[in-house]
Structure formats: structure tokens, C-alpha cells
Amino acid sequence: MEEKKLRQYDFLTSIILILFGIWDLAQAFKMPMKDSYGGVESVWYVSPALFPLFIGGGIILMGAILLINSIRTGGAARFIDSLKHVSEAKLTNETVRVLTVLLALGSFIYILIPNIDFFLSITLFLFFLCTAFYPDHDEFRRTFVIHFIIGMAVFLILIVTGLSDIINGILKYNMDILALLFIIYMNVAARKMAKAREIPVKLIRQVTIVSIVVPLILCPLFRYFLLVPLPVEGGILKLMNLLYYTIR
């Protein structure tokens, strides 16, 4: 990588490190520095907060050193100047691929897993990620990603505003039903987009089968044989429980 570009990325990295370090310290300060356990008063140097405090402080220090160096070498100025031309820049297909993977992982970890039935979460994650790459068509991928972003934005709004709790209060598995409907919608949309771009629809069919079969194997394996509780056991997993204990 060119020296100028490296210094520019150093500036961005330093900001991320400092923000992460601040977050780490904020979480560490929530831990008790000293407390009483069974009548015994513990001292500050055995607090569980010490290690994350050292880690957070070290990250902030390293981020500050990197920040100073990037400013001194002109990286900060080049980064700020590059922001002025963001609107003029076009995303390359390689960048879209990377962003697609990050979008899939971020949505899976922060939106789907904590709030949606685990079976449906894996199904949607696999279907989106495989469909975005398996046809290997850049225009198809960009359009498909936009559909997914809109859907995830709706789920995020429902979760952040607390509307998801109200919806589940009306009917216990309403959010799971919405997720199932979204999977069906994405499947239908993918087939229509594939036909419009002369992509074999059998590719979408293959992805659909894989995205259903994988969680159909994984969920029972972890839940009933390894006895691992799954993050959210919603409508589909409750139905699996009913079938499993009825057969058993």
C-alpha cells in the first residue's frame, strides 16, 4: 500500500481504537471496584474491572499515538479531504462484495440472533449470503442487497423503538412471522430478478434448499443432542420442541 494511503487509514484506525477504548472503559467502570462477599470485604486490586481497565487504557494510548502520528504525517488532512469527494466516488464491485459480507454478518449478529427465532435467523442469513454470491452477477447482487437493507432497516426500527415487543404482545411469535414472510419475499424477489437478468432460477432453488437444510440439521443437533440452549427459541423451535417431545 502507498505510504500516503497508509497514513490516511492510520487516522481512521486511530479514531476507531480510541472510541473502542472509551467504550471498554465505560463498561469496566460498571463493575464493582470493591464489594462485600459473604461478610468479607474485597479490595480494589482483586476487582474484575482491573483487566478491562488496563486493556481499555492501553488501546486508547495506542490509538492516541497512532492519531498523533497520522496528523503529523498528513494522513488526517488527506482523510478529511477524501470525505469531500465521497459523493463523487463510485463503489467498485469488490467493495460491494466486502460490504455485502459485513452487512450479512452485522445483521445476523446484532439484529437477527438476539430477536428472531434462531432457525429463521440462520435461514435468512444463509439465503441472503449465498444468493448474493452464488449467481456471481454484480448487478443482481447490488439490487438484491438493497432489498435486504430495506428489510433489515424495518426490523431495526421495530426493535429500537420497542414496537417489536408490542407486536409480540399481540401475538407471541409475530416477529418470527414477519421474519418468515421476509424470507419468502426475498425468495420471490430473487427469482424475479434472476429471470429478468437471464440467471438460471435453479441457482436460487439450490440456495433455498441449502438455507433450509443446514439449520434443519444444526438446530436439532445443538438443542437435543448437545443440549445447548439456542439464543431465541421462537415459533419454529417451539414447534420442533413439540414434535421432538411428542415422538420421544
Q: Greatest CA separation found in the chain? A: 74
Cα-based torsion angle of the residue sequence 216, 217, 219, 221 in order, rounded to the nearest 10 degrees: 150
Backbone angles phi, psi at 41, to 5 degrees: -85, 120
pLDDT for position 60:
92
pLDDT for position 112:
92
Task: Quote the mean pLDDT of the chain.
Answer: 84
The radius of gyration of the chain's CA atoms, rounded to the nearest angstrom, is 24
Provide mean pLDDT across the span 171-197: 92
In whole angstroms, give the CA distance from residue 131 to residue 211: 10
pLDDT (tens digit per residue) in 2-17: 677 778 888 888 888 8
pLDDT (tens digit per residue) in 192-224: 999 999 899 999 999 999 999 999 999 998 888
Q: Select, from the ranges 37-46, 99-108, 184-193, the one with the highest average predicted confidence (pLDDT).
A: 184-193
Query: What band does 187 get if pLDDT is binned at 50, 70 and 90?
Result: very high
Give the three cell numbers for residue 7.
497514513
Query: What band does 123 get if pLDDT is binned at 50, 70 and 90?
Result: very high
pLDDT for position 30:
78
| Residue 4: alpha-carbon gap to chain centroid | 31
pLDDT for position 129:
92
pLDDT for position 208:
94
Give the chain's length.
Answer: 248
pLDDT (tens digit per residue) in 37-93: 445 455 656 566 777 888 888 899 998 998 899 888 888 888 777 766 654 556 677
In whole angstroms, give the CA distance from residue 124 to residue 167: 20
In the chain, the percentage of residues whose pLDDT exceeds 70 is 88
Residue 104 has pLDDT above 70, yes or no: yes
User: Per mean pLDDT, which range of 5-19, 83-97, 121-135, 140-154 is the poorest?
Assistant: 83-97
Query: Which residues lie across from 36 on neighbouring strands?
Result: 41
CB of 73 closer than 8 Å to CB of 14: no
Provide mean pLDDT across the span 12-41: 75
pLDDT for position 120:
94
For the chain, give the secondary structure using H, E and C: CCHHHHHHHHHHHHHHHHHHHHHHHHHHCCCCCCCEECCEECCHHHCCCHHHHHHHHHHHHHHHHHHHHHHHCCHHHHHHHHHCCCCCCCCCHHHHHHHHHHHHHHHHHHHHCCCCCHHHHHHHHHHHHHHHHCCCCHHHHHHHHHHHHHHHHHHHHHHHCCHHHHHHHHCCCHHHHHHHHHHHHHHHHHHHHHHHCCCCHHHHHHHHHHHHHHHHHHHHHHHHHCCCCCCCCCHHHHHHHHHHHHHC
In whole angstroms, give the CA distance from residue 148 to residue 158: 16
pLDDT for position 91:
63
pLDDT for position 34:
63
Does the model's pTM come out above 0.75? no
